Amino acid sequence: MTLARSKIDYRKLLGIFLMVASVAFNKWSVQALSTSDGQIESDLFTYAIVGVQLVLALLGLVFLNLQQNRFWLGCVLLGFVLYIWAATRQPAEHFENFFFVYPQLRFYINLLLSIAALLGYMLATQNDRRRDIIQNVALSVATFGFVALLIELPALTGLIDYRQVFIPKGVSLLGPHNRVYEPGGFYHRPENDQYTELRPGDAVLMFGARTGRLYEADYSYDQNGFRNSAPIENPDLLLVGDSFIEGYKVGQDVTVTEQIMQGSNYTVISIAQSDYSLYHGLSAMLHHLADYSPKVVVWFLFEGNDLPYFPISHEEFVKSKAHLAEPARFSQRSFFSSLSSSLASWSSLATRTLQGENYARTRSGHFPDAAWSEAKAMYFGYPPPDRVEARLPYLKELLLQGDALVRGNGGKLLIAHIPIKIDVYRDFLAFPDDSVAQDWVSLELAADLKTWAGENGMDYMDLTPALQEAAADGTLVYFLDDAHWTPEGHQVAAQAVLDHLTTKGWLD
């Protein structure tokens, strides 16, 4: 007598177990990352989690032997594709270098995994045509590779840098024709550069606001690549800062630099650039201060983004940027790299626009004497900075280094605080019910830094009162749909600096 043969298919049972284990492991890993409260930040750990999940799922598929059932295999692979696209979404405020809500690299990895899933389905279900499918795929890949090689050949040989094709001329844009990177961790415009830019407000680019405004400005740069109308030797004042001081979206003759000279007998030179941080500003001073030897250096600090955006020392910052001053690599000159960056920017901008007015409303306010409308609303791009306590020691160290540098060159340093727009206009506006801007709380950062500066023998002035006073009188000192100063805002800032220096008597 023999025992009856078991009808249980243990291979499929094991396959089911492994698929369940993959799902359970995913749930456990998500919980582990959530409860770690940010302590688990290693990319290697994340990749290991994904790898274990894939191994368990693939082994489960092998034991389930689903290639005999096209429907279930299609469902599993479709679920995998939907999972990777849903799990890797990373919404971002910035409008550049994102495909909708996916970083570039993540977008391409997801695309390759989706194609791989489709090919896997075809190979698993077309038993009698596998060889033909593989040959066709190989031929298609080889053809695409040959065409790509022909396109990239000029970049490979150094004849063309495709960034100059895909990235237009413009303030704050990347590319060799917009920025020249120097050893020491800073950059500037090409020498004696000139161009005209027509651009909407940043709220249009960041939030999809439909304001209908375009700002046109002519830009002229000196032999050092900074926005100055004429070279000046041994100026009275040297201005250091970012896009506020360079004059983003305003004409050459109304910048802070020009208006200080128009309102006084002092000579002024700017070494300000859009997107400069305090790290860049210190590097620029280290490079140019001895050449100009000014009596006073005015270093402008913008509260919105000048807290160190990654807390490292200036020396570490310079090391991290050293590669930017090296000759461009092929990966930078590449056609497909430049094309993908351009497509990413435009696709993300399209997404912002399609979101309609609701998203823009959440970052807006309006003057009480008129109802809210897209054209008349005031938009706020910069909330109060976060993680201030962790970043503040590095900011103070940078300011101390700048003060020592200026004193060693025989001059005096004035630190001028530029407030975010909400701190100037908060008391003069009404806000939609769904606006997050009305809940932003002022950090009083300028007052704290002024006290600290006085204790360390430095001079710190806050531009907020002068800008608030002008705004209370009805002067528009910030653009409605942009975070930067209007020409009138530049005038107010210039006069405030002149009044402060007159009171100090530093230029008598």
Per-residue pLDDT tens for 362-393? 899 999 887 888 888 999 989 998 888 889 99
Same domain, residue pair 152 and 189: no
Boundary (domain end) residue, out of 115, 130, 156: 156
Same domain, residue pair 264 and 365: yes
Same domain, residue pair 89 and 45: yes
Q: What is the pLDDT of residue 38?
A: 47
What is the spatial distance between Cα 328 and Cα 12, in angstroms, rounded to a whole number? 54
Same domain, residue pair 259 and 394: yes
Q: At residue 444, does pLDDT exceed 90?
A: no
What is the spatial distance between Cα 507 and Cα 411, in angstroms, rounded to a whole number? 11
Same domain, residue pair 225 and 342: yes
Q: What is the pLDDT of residues 18-47, one digit of tens each?
A: 767 776 766 666 556 555 544 444 556 666
Q: Is residue 3 part of a domain?
A: no
Residue 304's domain spans which residues?
166-504
Taking each helix axis from N to C end, the angle separating 445-455 and 388-408, rounded to the nearest 10 degrees, works out to 40
Boundary (domain end) residue, out of 126, 156, 186: 156
Q: Is residue 87 part of a domain?
A: yes
Domains contained in the chain, number: 2
Q: At residue 155, does pLDDT exceed 70?
A: yes
Same domain, residue pair 193 and 126: no
What is the spatial distance between Cα 433 and Cα 481, in angstroms, rounded to a whole number? 19
Q: Is residue 71 part of a domain?
A: yes
Q: CB–CB of 425/378 below 8 Å?
A: yes
Q: What is the pLDDT of residues 426-437, one digit of tens each?
A: 999 999 988 899
What is the spatial distance between Cα 479 and Cα 486, in angstroms, rounded to a whole number? 6
Same domain, residue pair 236 and 385: yes
The single-letter code of the amino acid at 4 is: A
Q: Is residue 497 part of a domain?
A: yes
Q: Where are the beta strands (DSSP E) in 58-173?
A: 98-99, 102-103
Residues 418, 498, 403, 239: is their CA dihedral positive or negative? positive
What is the spatial distance between Cα 40 and Cα 34, in angstroms, rounded to a whole number? 9
Same domain, residue pair 106 and 213: no
Q: What is the pLDDT of residue 61?
A: 67
Q: Is residue 272 part of a domain?
A: yes
Query: What pTM was estimated for this model as a whole?
Result: 0.79
Same domain, residue pair 89 and 233: no
Q: What is the pLDDT of residue 507?
A: 85
Same domain, residue pair 172 and 148: no
Q: At residue 16, does pLDDT exceed 80?
A: no
Q: CB–CB of 293/234 below 8 Å?
A: yes
Q: What is the CATH number of the domain that holds 288?
A: 3.40.50.1110
Q: Given the structure tokens 């593989």, which residue do they identify?
A: 134
Q: At residue 86, does pLDDT exceed 50?
A: yes
**Mean of pLDDT over the chain:** 85
Tell me the percentage of the chain whose pLDDT exceeds 70. Answer: 84
Mapping DSSP onto H, E and C, the string for 251-301 reads: CHHHCHHHHHHHCCCCCEEECCCCCCCHHHHHHHHHHHHHHHCCCEEEEEE
Q: Is residue 5 part of a domain?
A: no
The mean pLDDT of 145-151, rounded to a whole number, is 90
Same domain, residue pair 236 and 145: no
Q: Is residue 161 part of a domain?
A: no
Mapping DSSP onto H, E and C, the string for 347-391 reads: HHHHHHHHCCHHHHHCCEEECCCCCCCCCCCEECCCCCCCCHHHH
Q: Is residue 180 part of a domain?
A: yes
Same domain, residue pair 107 and 246: no
Q: What is the pLDDT of residues 336-357, one digit of tens each?
A: 888 888 887 777 666 666 665 6
Boundary (domain end) residue, out of 108, 135, 156: 156
